[in-house]
Amino acid sequence: MIYRQYPIDLDEKDSQYWANMAFSLQREGKLKQAQKYYEKAIEIEPENISYLINLGSVLNAQGKHSEAVKYLRYVTKVAPDYVEGWVNLTVAYIAAGNLSEGLICCNKGLDLDPSNAVIWNNRGYIFRLQNKIENAISDYDESLRLVPDSLHTLTNKLIAHGTLKQWDKVKGTSKKILKIDKYHKDALYWKAMVDDVENRDSE
């Protein structure tokens, strides 16, 4: 049984007792039960940031974005200088379709940590969803300046260039991606698009 994995000195009065089980269930993909146990842990220790963030992640994974926002907003209230709180709240707002609040969270995160590549990427993604493509590319470039080989950000930048039909930049970005992962589906797709454009232009 899963319960045997835990220290014998923990009992049901300890928040860690429930959090340990919740974490194991989360890793196994048993999200509904993990949610229940994180909630029990939080009843005992309501301001534990790790529990709140993990619960927010579990709720997001179940599509319960409004509930995730509630818990993750509380994290930013309890620990307003904790950057990861803003990062996780951004993700929840994006999933909920509330891009304006997600953008506010990104800006607050960047105020705290302007060298956080994840936040630059997330803000770029929001700009792209808002059809502010040039702004998105600028943020992706800043993210890649910090973490040059991030496949996630390179892919986002590739799609942004493709949206604007900037074929030279699509070609260059897809080439970078394929050096890292030669089977990358998005890069292969956009490379084929560029090849098609170049073939038509040469006719």
* CA 17/CA 8 separation, integer angstroms: 10
DSSP strands (E only) in the chain: none
Q: Is residue 117 part of a domain?
A: no
Amino acid 11: pLDDT: 72
Q: Does residue 64 belong to any structural domain of this protein?
A: yes
Residue 31 domain-assigned (yes or no): yes
Q: What is the pLDDT along the chain (203 residues), one digit of tens a residue?
A: 333 344 445 678 899 999 999 999 999 999 999 999 999 999 999 999 999 999 999 999 999 999 999 999 999 999 999 999 999 999 999 999 999 999 999 999 999 999 999 999 999 999 999 999 999 999 999 999 999 999 999 999 999 999 999 999 999 999 999 999 999 999 999 999 999 999 887 76
If one counts the domains in the chain, the total is: 1
Q: Is residue 175 part of a domain?
A: no
Domain-embedded: residue 13: yes
Q: Cα 162 vs. chain centroid, distance in angstroms?
A: 22
The encoded tokens of residue 137 equal: 């590319």
Q: Is residue 164 situated within a structural domain? A: no
Of the candidates 149, 92, 145, 165, the residue with the CA atom closest to the CA atom of residue 122: 92
- Would residue 190 count as lying in a domain? no
The pLDDT assigned to 1 comes to 30
Q: Indicate which CATH number applies to the domain containing 88.
A: 1.25.40.10
- For residue 101, the one-letter residue type is E
Record the tokens describing residue 135, joined without a space. 């702004």
Residue 106 located in a structural domain: no
Domain that holds residue 84: 1-93
Burial of 79 (0-12, 13-18, 19+ CB in 10 A): middle
Q: What is the pLDDT of residues 121-162, one digit of tens each?
A: 999 999 999 999 999 999 999 999 999 999 999 999 999 999
